[in-house]
Amino acid sequence: MSNPEPAPAAAEVTTWSLEQTSPDDLRPAAAPGDGVRIVRSTVPLPEFSRFLYTAVGGDIQWTDRLSMTYAEWQEALDRPGAETWVAYENGTPAGYIELDPQDDGVVEIMYFGLIPAFRGRRIGGHLLAYGAARAWDLAERWPERPPTKRVWLHTCSKDGPHAMDNYLRRGFRLFDTKVELEADVAEPGPWPGAAR
């Protein structure tokens, strides 16, 4: 008789939900140095989206989209009003922010972050402020969408140490906190061994 596989270790994870309820809530960030620009990815490619997702979230255990098929990625990207804005530094992708339009004028910042090599260089605050502004003016680019009334996001204790401070500095307010046990991921990172 074989020994049963040990259960994966679990860790306590705190998730915080934050919101803005008016474009007047948004506070700008200092602009980063020359060579940084933010561009909307107007051709929705699952390959590019998956690259951004794994490159940004690999070391902080973003795993919820790793099992998605190509068709599921395409469906998520093709929704009217869904947008991906990418920060580049001197032509290299540095991070991204993905906007997810929901019902009744609500826009969720579904994903936001920087590739590890670009963290701590004043790009994150600028990208967050720029992306939140694009959430507020989303209906200008998508006339079939209602005007934005609320922008929200969530962050958790697995995210970088400066994430919450960045959200608060941009004018987001905390509206919910949850604590849950989550199984540890055996191989976090954009590829096996990348986090080691």
Q: Is it the case that residue 15 has pLDDT exceeding 60?
A: yes
The residues facing 183 across adjacent strands are: 10
pLDDT tens profile 29-72: 998 888 999 999 999 999 999 999 999 998 888 888 988 999 99
Q: Collect all residues with Cβ–Cβ distance below 8 Å to 31 and sequence separation of at least 6.
A: 122, 126
Distance (Å, whole) CA 3 – CA 124: 47
Which one, of 148, 136, 35, lies nearest residue 87 by Cα?
A: 35
Give the SS3 label for residue 162: coil
Q: How far apart are CA 130 and CA 166, in angstroms?
A: 13
Please state the pTM of the whole predicted model.
Answer: 0.88
Q: Indicate whether 170 pLDDT > 90.
A: yes
Task: Please report the domains of the chain, with CATH numbers, ordered by start residue.
Answer: 10-183 (3.40.630.30)
Nearest to 58, CA basis, from 121, 115, 118, 124:
115
Report whether pLDDT(1) > 60: no
So what's the pLDDT on residue 146?
Answer: 96
Beta-sheet strands, E only, within the chain: 10-20, 36-40, 83-89, 92-101, 106-114, 150-156, 173-183
Place of tokens 């506070």: 27
Query: CB–CB of 153/172 below 8 Å?
Result: yes
What phi-psi label fits residue 90: left (phi over 0), alpha (psi between -120 and 50 degrees) or beta?
Answer: left
Asked whether residue 9 carries a pLDDT value surpassing 80, the answer given is no
pLDDT tens, residue by residue, 120-136: 889 999 999 999 999 99
